[in-house]
Each structure stands twice: as structure tokens, then as C-alpha cells.
Amino acid sequence: MPDIRKRKNKDGSLTYQVRFRNPATKSGYAYKTFSTRKQAHAFHNETQQRVSMHSSPSGIRTFSDAVALWLRTCKREGLNGGEPVTSYTLSNYAYRADFILLHDWGKELWQLTAPDIAAFRSWLLRTAPSRITAQKVMVTLHSVLKEMAVRGIIPTNIAAGITIRTDTRYDEPVVIPSKGEILALLGAADRLANSPNGTTARAWQRYRPMLYLAADTGMRPQEYLGLPRHCVVDGGIRVEQAIAGDGRSISVTKTKAGRRMIDASASTIDMVQHYVRLYAPQSEYGLVFPTTDGKWQCRKNWQRRGFDAACLEAGLVRHVKINGRDVARPKFRPYDLRHFFASMLIAKKLDLKKIQTMMGHESIKTTLDTYGHLLEDADSDRPRFGLLDDLGAHSDVSSCGAEQTTV
């Protein structure tokens, strides 16, 4: 057990020496001197906690033990009272945790101090493939230590305050299609749905309502590709599930905030329901936009065969040099329709908290980081929903073809 001894120095000043257990020394003890009794007692109490933890029957002695427990918690219980993570998220966590395990800590968990964490950070910045990866690994390290502290395996999170700062990915303003570009894109979808080529027209029976829905609701691609039919309701869309990041399963939304109700134009809902009634294949998953075998679409296939084709048809391209040749590439990505949706909400001065909810952002900071530069450009006092109705971007009928948009 550690103890505190008061020492009187030659100059008459007092210091306080703490003796504590240290298996690394020959005697099994070490000493540390402090100028005040308060500092000595603080160190004494902390050391007592560590000694108690070291002798506890938890069996968690190393970072390898701690990471294994943390991953099991993520998979089976969920952290901080939350739900268990998806298999895709768990694989990402395991990848980050591998960096923690690769580092030569040289100590057991209870012996680690803040300088050890700082040394790990330096090693990580040299080793990780990018600064963003290093920052995510540090977040994982904090989560592991926090879980160990909550379980009483260590007294405190010794990594507190030791982080890696990165520039947000939204430092550069996101690329947002203009109203005219959205109208051009939807007009292209109308033309493709009415193509004299039967194969093209059949494909766009499905792609056209997908494109309209994406622009009108700001849903993430993995959300509308995994949208179940019972979530298409009068007035909007209920988001309850999404395709997992690896594309191999459908799961609950990644965060609780992802579950939400999004208002949509009546004509968009009619178009989607019209497609479901007349054209959608049967799906054991009850999907709105399944493939012919009833499963969910691949996001990359939708982008390449659907969205990119609409961009090229609409002339929304950028020219790049590939092997000395000038090649046209789509100007936008499916995710940019989400940015358009947010920009329209902001332009109508919708309450910021409501925007966060409709976008499915877990933190309002994400909303501000992404779209804060648009707030000063808002020019209307009338909040409204069903964005595409205001653009005049719908056909006179809700069919997936047969009539074209009047722009």
C-alpha cells in the first residue's frame, strides 16, 4: 500500500514523499515527491485505485483484454445504453482497434499514464494511413478507456484531453445543384422514362420515381434503396431502416436520429405509389425499389446506370483528361440531391432544429458544419414542405413515363 511521509529539507521547506507499489523496480516500490500535501494525497488516492484495480478479479490487464471486452460490448450490448452496432460498424471498429493493438505499450493497463497516451498519439500519426484515420483511432481509444472506467476496471479515462484534431471534411462548401440543374435532371428522367428504347424506358420506370424522391426528401441513397413500402404514407416518408455500409444487409438506421418522418410533395408520393402498384417486382423484404429478384439494389449500380445516365442526358457534366482524351463525367453524385434538399429548407428559413431532424443528423453541429454557410442566404419567411411542387417539377400525371415535366 502507498503511504505519505512529510520531509523537511535543509532550507526549512517541507515536501511530501509518496511511496507506492511498482512491480518494475527491484524492491517492488517507488517514490515520488510533491511540494504540497494536496498533491501528494491526490497521487496517493489515484495510486490506491490503480493497485486495487490491478488486484481485481476482472481479468482485464492489457489493452488486448480491454479491446476484446469493448468489441463484445459493442456487438452484444451497445455502448452507453445504446443499441448493439451493425456488423458493418463493428468491422470498422475492429479495424481501428487493430492500431491500438499494434502499438507496443510495454505496460499493463493499470500502469498507463497520460504521457503513454501522448506517445501513442505520436506513433499513430506516423503509422496511420491518414490523419483522419488517426483521429478516428483516437476516438476509439477514448471509447475503450471510458468503457473500462465505467466498469471500474480503471479509475479514470487517462486519455482525457489527448486528441487529434482534423480539419472537418466540410471546410470546403459542399457542391449544391441549383434549382435549374435539378429541373434539368428531373426533365432528363422524364425523357428517359419515355424513351423509344424499350429497355431504357423499363429501367426508368423505376429510376424516375427514385430520382424524384431523392430530390424531394433529401434521403440518403442507402435509405431510399432500402425503403419498405409501408413507410410511404400520405404526406411523406418514414425512414426506419437503411442498407448497411457493406451493402450486404438491411438494418436499422446507424443512429437514432436517422429514424424520422420527412414531408414530401403529394405528386412525388403519388408517383412512387403508382410505381409500386403497377411496376415494382414482388419483394420478400417489402421494398419499394427492389431488383427483379426482390432484393435491394446496389448503390453503385444505381449511380452508374441511373443517376449518371440522367446527368449525361441533362448535360450536367464536367470534362476531365484521361489518357490525353477529353472525357465527360457526371457533375454531381446521388448524395448531392441531399445537399440540394437541405439548401431549399434553409432558403425557406425553416427552424434549424427541424432541419437537423429532417436531415437525420445526430448532432446539430453536423448540420451547421455542412450548411452553415447557406444560412445568411435564406430569403423567405415561409417554411414549407414538398419542395418539388414549388419548383413546378412534376408532370401532370403521376405515371412513370407517358407524360413529361413542364419546366
The pLDDT value recorded for residue 167 is: 58
101 band by pLDDT with thresholds 50, 70 and 90: very high
The pLDDT value recorded for residue 378 is: 52
Higher pLDDT, 58 or 164: 164
CATH (residue range 179-391):
1.10.443.10
Task: Evaluate if residue 161 carries a pLDDT over 50.
Answer: yes
Average confidence (pLDDT) over 295-309: 95
Task: Evaluate if residue 391 carries a pLDDT over 90.
Answer: no
The pLDDT value recorded for residue 82 is: 78
The pLDDT value recorded for residue 26 is: 67
Task: Evaluate if residue 404 carries a pLDDT over 70.
Answer: no
Amino acid at 405: T
Average confidence (pLDDT) over 82-111: 89
For residue 174, the 8-state DSSP code is P
Taking the C-alpha atoms of residue 109 and residue 113, their distance in angstroms, rounded to an integer, is 9
Backbone φ, ψ for residue 386 (5° rounding) = 65, 65
Percentages (nearest 5) of helix, strand, coil residues in the chain: 50, 10, 40
Indicate the domain borders of the chain.
Answer: 3-54, 63-150, 179-391
The pLDDT value recorded for residue 10 is: 84
CA neighbor of 182 nearest in space, from 206, 218, 225: 218
113-152: pLDDT as tens digits: 999 999 999 999 999 998 889 999 999 999 999 999 888 8
Taking the C-alpha atoms of residue 134 and residue 125, their distance in angstroms, rounded to an integer, is 6
CA 364 to centroid of chain Cα atoms: 13
The pLDDT value recorded for residue 376 is: 55
The pLDDT value recorded for residue 1 is: 43
Answer yes or no: are the C-beta atoms of 398 and 370 closer than 8 Å.
no
Amino acid at 2: P
pTM over 0.75: no
Average confidence (pLDDT) over 172-179: 80
SS3 15: strand
The pLDDT value recorded for residue 398 is: 46
Amino acid at 330: P
- CA geometry: angle 77, 79, 85, nearest 5 deg: 65
Question: Given CA atoms 179, 180, 182, 183 in this order, what sign does their dihedral have?
Answer: positive
Higher pLDDT, 405 or 179: 179
375-385: pLDDT as tens digits: 655 544 434 45
How far from each other are the two terminal CA atoms of the chain, in whole angstroms? 82
Answer yes or no: are the C-beta atoms of 290 and 298 closer than 8 Å.
no
238-291: pLDDT as tens digits: 999 999 887 888 988 878 889 999 999 999 999 999 999 999 999 999 999 999
Task: Evaluate if residue 107 carries a pLDDT over 80.
Answer: yes
The pLDDT value recorded for residue 220 is: 95
Task: Evaluate if residue 56 carries a pLDDT over 70.
Answer: no
Hey, which residues does 3 pair with through a beta bridge?
19
The pLDDT value recorded for residue 156 is: 82
198-248: pLDDT as tens digits: 999 999 999 999 999 999 999 999 999 999 999 999 889 999 999 988 788
Mean pLDDT score across all residues of the chain: 85
Q: 114-127 and 131-150 are packed helices; what angle lies between their axes, rounded to 10 degrees?
A: 150
